[in-house]
Amino acid sequence: MGKTSTIDKLQAALSRLQEAEDALASLDAARELRELADSIELTQVRAARDQGVAWSKIGKLYGLTKQGAQQRFRQHLEPAPDAG
């Protein structure tokens, strides 16, 4: 059994949203879509930084300053400090 790709998960969540028969099912699908989109966004920010893209350029895409982009993304990209 293969690993489900993010694209497959997005398509499944979109289908659930379209087929939802009540507000709670729609909300759950929308929540999942947002979580997947957040994950994709962080992966792409990490990839951009790994390729040497400056924080100022990332910030510009979001209408932020360099510092604004760092504040928005840096904490999600840095590894957690060791517990020991």
In this predicted model, what pLDDT tens digit does every residue of 23-70 receive, in sequence order? 999 999 999 999 999 999 999 999 999 999 999 999 999 999 999 999
pTM of the model: 0.79
Say whether both 61 and 39 belong to one domain. no
Residue-level pLDDT at 78: 75
Say whether both 24 and 60 belong to one domain. no
For the chain, how many structural domains are there in total? 2
Say whether both 29 and 43 belong to one domain. yes
Q: Exposure of 26 by Cβ count < 10 A (0-12 exposed, 13-18 middle, 19+ buried)?
A: middle
Q: What is the mean pLDDT of residues 65-80?
A: 88
Q: In whole angstroms, what is the distance from residue 20 CA to residue 8 CA?
A: 18
Say whether both 64 and 31 belong to one domain. no
Range of the domain at 41: 1-52
